[in-house]
Structure 1
Amino acid sequence: MMKVFSALLLAFLVTACGDDGPPEPQATEAAPAAAEATKTASTDKVLEVYKSPTCGCCGAWVDHMKENGYQVVVHEQQNLQSIKEKAGILPGQGSCHTAFIDGYAIEGHVPAADVDRLLAERPDARGLTVPGMPVGSPGMEMGDRVDAYDVLLFDEDGTAVFSHYPGTE
């Protein structure tokens, strides 16, 4: 019963985040400067985030990243499929928003500490993903509840566990 509820909740949240119509990137005026900063200084921690304009949990994740020292440039658009394809997100590994930093893709509710570690270790990979929208991950807080979830390191060949969060249940 809980798995059915979780699947329905995920479907509702993804639908609420928006995924219709052709991509319409609407970068802020800071985007060209942010892109240049990303190329020249990874220590500036400039994160380019693509999200639906109506997704509250995406906005909460952006706040989490800002609170952890990231400069965030948000691009709002309804359909994120082309962005996810550009990032190389594998089927079943997606979430509601996609970000890019220093040559890596960050998919979904990845904790800032894992992005910090990724940038410090610089593994040969496309990026990190937290598939779905696990309760208790950054931006998906719901009281004291924290579901177990994995942060996955991914490339074109598949995924490997980068970090594990055991949850509270």
Structure 2
Amino acid sequence: MKRRTLIHALAALPVLPALPAQAATKIHVYKNESCDCCAGWVKHLSSAGFAVQVTTTDDTIAVRKKVGIPDAFGACHTATVEGYAIEGHVPAPEIRRLLALKPQAIGLAVPSMPVGSPGMEYGDRKDPYKVLLIDRQGRDTVFATYPK
């Protein structure tokens, strides 16, 4: 590129319209008010750029049932995002990947509360765990694996 062309291109930059900022993806988390690990997961989502709305509830099991996550995949909190259910300590990158792939599924789950998953940090300890994709029949397949 010639220097003159570059100078003209740079001079035009201030008159270009500003590109609209991409809105943060909204995610709605249902959690027990006193649960610290749920609060840690909410912080993880916020740090990853999600716009998090939190609803406290004493009955997360009812929320899980309402969004279609089978009890076998239960954890301590449930979220909804763009028509999908997210159960447990699912890492934000996996939620982003789910939203990009848009599979025919109920959503993602990390059953139980594995140490080292987002919100379940405990020093340097990291237990292996799997992120499961739950299909519309309630069956699971491995969506991602997190080794030690």
Q: Same fold (TM over 0.5)?
A: yes
Cα separation, 2, equivalents of 1:136 and 1:120: 25
* CA shift for structure 1 position 91: 2.6
Name the residue aligned to 1:144.
Answer: 124
Unmatched 5+ stretches in structure 1: 1-41
Counterparts of 2:61 and 2:125, CA distance in 1: 30
Instruction: State the Cα distance separating 1:86 from its structure 2 match.
Output: 1.1
Q: Report the equivalent of 1:23.
A: none
Considering only CA atoms, is the larger Rg found in Structure 1 or Structure 2?
2
For 2:28, the equivalent position in structure 1 comes to 48
CA distance in 1, matches of 2:45, 2:80: 13
Q: Which moved more, 1:43-52 or 1:133-142?
A: 43-52
Letter in 2 for 1:164: T
Matched residues, number: 126
Post-superposition shift, 1:44? 3.1
Task: Give the distance between the partners of 2:23 and 2:146, measured in 1 at CA.
Answer: 26
The CA deviation at 1:129 is 0.2
Q: Within 2, Cα distance between the matches of 1:160 and 1:58?
A: 24
Which of 116, 121, 129 aligns to 2:109? It is 129
SS of 1:134's equivalent in the other structure is coil
After the TM superposition, which residues 1-169 of structure 1 pair with which residues of structure 2 at under 5 Å, given as runs?
44-157=24-137, 158-167=139-148
Q: Offset at 1:89?
A: 1.3
Divergent runs of 4+, >6 A: none
Q: Which runs of 5+ in 2 are unaligned?
A: 1-21
Tell whether the 8 Å contact from 1:88 to 1:155 is kept in structure 2 after alignment: no
Aligned to 1:132, what secondary structure does the other structure show?
A: coil
Q: Distance in 2 between matches of 1:143 and 1:44?
A: 30
Cα distance in 2 for residues equivalent to 1:86 and 1:150: 23
Indicate conservation of the 8 Å contact 2:88/2:111, yes or no.
Answer: yes
Whole-angstrom CA distance in 2 between matches of 1:57 and 1:65: 12
Q: What do you get for the CA RMSD once the two structures are aligned?
A: 1.2
Quote the offset at 1:155 in angstroms.
2.2
TM-score (structure 1 length as normaliser): 0.72
Distance in 1, matches of 2:76 and 2:61, equals 10
SS at structure 2 position matched to 1:114: helix
